[in-house]
Amino acid sequence: MPGDAAWRERVRGKRRRAALIQVAVAAVLIAFLWVLGSNVAENLAERGIQHGFEFFRHSAGFAIGETPITFEPTDSFFRAFVIGVMNTIRVSVLAIISSFVLGIVIAFMKLSRQPVLRFFGAAHVEFYRNIPLIVGLLGVYLVITEILPDMETVAESGSVFMLDKAGLQFPVPLHEGAVAAASLAAGLVAGFLAGRVARARSTFLVGWCAGAGAFCAAAAAVWIACGAVLGWSIPKLDGFIVEGGGSLSPEFLAIWLGLTLFSSAPIAETIRAGIVSVGRGQWQAGLSLGLSGVETASYVVFPQAMRLSVPPLASQFMNLTKNSSLAIVVGYPDVVSIGNTSINATGQALEMILLIMLVYLMLNLITSVVMNAINRRLARGRA
């Protein structure tokens, strides 16, 4: 009909105008960035300052105290930067997991009917929410390096686990790399299967919890079984150094514990607010069906609370990742620390700062994508 044809033409016209506007805005933005980049390059050239990423191929010339992969001072700046990124991911992921678990515990403590639990839950939140993170990190680091006993004292006790001024030392199976790969593979398989079965019989959230539990249990079982069969490398003090076993440095422990404690406070408040927002009738409905208080909280209230808590939790997790940049104050070699050392060695601050910004941008975008996917599943009523 003529009317329908005219309407379709107006719609196509609006779409064309919108597309032209977007192309024009993109072109202006690209031109602005091009002019800005050209001016920066010219100014650097006039001052005799090198620019570009050619320095990544050069020998770094410095050592890194904590490396997930092998590194020598003769290796390139690029390899050093990759190690910094890996260290940042390592501490951020572990802190996200531990702070989320601790936040759930603190949230239920604040909602408990027991006055003692409520008091300690509120004290935890108010204490860590009202002091600067950098001060807390220094406090945790000083506790580890000043209050804990010396290595000699702990080694004389004959314990296979050593928590002292040098960090935490613990036994690991022989052929640790292969055992770690086998444990990870077993955990992933067990977690996938358990999560799939649990989601088929229960809710999406319960499936995730079951998968996480199965992953941890299977990985731990394979790790222990391999140690029992292949033997253990046990840490022993040899002069002034510890030989054998695995270890966590005091710097890593300080940033991990500090981020966990401080991030758990706002996470606990976010989860508590989500739980409180669930109507009282939901508790009564669960109890009237014969569920216990724990079952009602787990299967009825908590899944509904998470629908409201996931969006602000995403912001908390991203803030935690950005706050990991404060690892430099305790000497943990994260991407900021190694980037700062590279700037001092090469003088190319602009390139390194841009790369550090890009790393945190990508990590937080990945976090946002994952949390948005979880939020969509929960919003569809599949919690």
pLDDT value at residue 348: 81
Q: Looking at the structure, do residues 124 and 266 belong to the same domain, yes or no?
A: yes
pLDDT value at residue 44: 61
In this predicted structure, the answer to whether residue 75 has a pLDDT above a threshold of 80 is yes
**Between residues 380 and 162, the one the model is more confident about:** 162
Residue 309 within a domain: yes
In this predicted structure, the answer to whether residue 18 has a pLDDT above a threshold of 60 is yes
> Picking from 122-126, 219-223, 263-267, which range would have the lowest pLDDT averaged per residue?
219-223
Q: Looking at the structure, do residues 18 and 111 belong to the same domain, yes or no?
A: no
Among residues 333, 350, 372, the one where a domain terminates is 333
Mean pLDDT in residue range 124-141: 90
- How far apart are the C-alpha atoms of 282 and 303, rounded to whole Å? 11
Residue closest to 297 by CA, chosen among 310, 311, 284, 314: 284
In this predicted structure, the answer to whether residue 158 has a pLDDT above a threshold of 90 is no
Task: Count other Cβ atoms within 10 Å, centred on residue 42.
Answer: 10
Q: Looking at the structure, do residues 22 and 143 belong to the same domain, yes or no?
A: no
Helix (H) or strand (E) holding 124: helix 115-129
Task: Count other Cβ atoms within 10 Å, centred on residue 381.
Answer: 10
191 falls in which pLDDT band (50, 70, 90)? confident
pLDDT value at residue 41: 65
52 falls in which pLDDT band (50, 70, 90)? low
Q: Looking at the structure, do residues 165 and 250 belong to the same domain, yes or no?
A: yes
Q: Looking at the structure, do residues 132 and 45 belong to the same domain, yes or no?
A: no
Residue 344 within a domain: no
Q: Looking at the structure, do residues 15 and 145 belong to the same domain, yes or no?
A: no
Q: Looking at the structure, do residues 151 and 300 belong to the same domain, yes or no?
A: yes
pLDDT value at residue 98: 92
Beta carbons within 8 Å of 292's beta carbon, 6+ residues apart: none
Residue closest to 264 by CA, chosen among 335, 216, 317: 317
**Between residues 153 and 351, the one the model is more confident about:** 351
pLDDT value at residue 51: 66
In this predicted structure, the answer to whether residue 201 has a pLDDT above a threshold of 70 is no
In this predicted structure, the answer to whether residue 328 has a pLDDT above a threshold of 60 is yes
Q: Which residues pair with 76 in a beta bridge?
A: 59
- How far apart are the C-alpha atoms of 59 and 52, rounded to whole Å? 16
Q: Looking at the structure, do residues 101 and 43 belong to the same domain, yes or no?
A: no
Residue 304 within a domain: yes
Domain count for the chain: 2
- How far apart are the C-alpha atoms of 342 and 337, rounded to whole Å? 9
pLDDT value at residue 120: 92
DSSP E strands: which ranges in 116-215? 162-164, 167-170, 172-173
In this predicted structure, the answer to whether residue 119 has a pLDDT above a threshold of 90 is yes
Phi, psi of 290 (to 5 degrees): 95, 5
Largest interatomic CA distance in the chain: 94
> Picking from 76-90, 275-289, 323-337, which range would have the lowest pLDDT averaged per residue?
275-289
- How far apart are the C-alpha atoms of 206 and 94, rounded to whole Å? 21
Q: With contact defined as beta carbons under 8 Å apart, do 166 and 242 qualify?
A: yes
In this predicted structure, the answer to whether residue 50 has a pLDDT above a threshold of 70 is no
Question: Domain residues for 138?
Answer: 95-171+234-333
Residue 258 within a domain: yes
Residue 239 within a domain: yes
In this predicted structure, the answer to whether residue 202 has a pLDDT above a threshold of 70 is no
For residue 383, what are its two tokens? 């919690």
**Between residues 199 and 353, the one the model is more confident about:** 353
Q: Looking at the structure, do residues 41 and 115 belong to the same domain, yes or no?
A: no
Q: With contact defined as beta carbons under 8 Å apart, do 56 and 78 qualify?
A: yes
CA distances from 257 to 141, 180, 188, 323 (A): 9, 23, 26, 13
Q: Looking at the structure, do residues 244 and 306 belong to the same domain, yes or no?
A: yes
Residue closest to 202 by CA, chosen among 104, 295, 108: 295
Task: Count other Cβ atoms within 10 Å, centred on residue 55.
Answer: 19
Residue 187 within a domain: no
Residue 34 within a domain: yes
- How far apart are the C-alpha atoms of 192 and 186, rounded to whole Å? 10
Q: With contact defined as beta carbons under 8 Å apart, do 275 and 293 qualify?
A: no
**Between residues 323 and 305, the one the model is more confident about:** 323
> Picking from 135-144, 251-260, 299-308, 343-352, which range would have the lowest pLDDT averaged per residue?
299-308
Mean pLDDT in residue range 339-358: 87
**Between residues 183 and 241, the one the model is more confident about:** 183
What one-letter code names the amino acid at 262? F
Residue closest to 367 by CA, chosen among 133, 100, 96: 96
Q: What is the pLDDT of residues 273-313, one digit of tens each?
A: 888 887 777 777 777 777 776 677 767 777 777 777 888 89
Q: With contact defined as beta carbons under 8 Å apart, do 104 and 316 qualify?
A: no
40 falls in which pLDDT band (50, 70, 90)? low
pLDDT value at residue 241: 73
**Between residues 204 and 172, the one the model is more confident about:** 172
252 falls in which pLDDT band (50, 70, 90)? very high
Q: Looking at the structure, do residues 45 and 111 belong to the same domain, yes or no?
A: no
364 falls in which pLDDT band (50, 70, 90)? very high
How high does pLDDT run on average in the chain?
83
Q: Looking at the structure, do residues 259 and 127 belong to the same domain, yes or no?
A: yes
Q: With contact defined as beta carbons under 8 Å apart, do 99 and 260 qualify?
A: yes
The CATH number of whichever domain residue 113 belongs to comes to: 1.10.3720.10
Residue 31 within a domain: yes
Put simply, whether the predicted model's pTM sits higher than 0.85 gets the answer no
Phi, psi of 170 (to 5 degrees): -150, 155
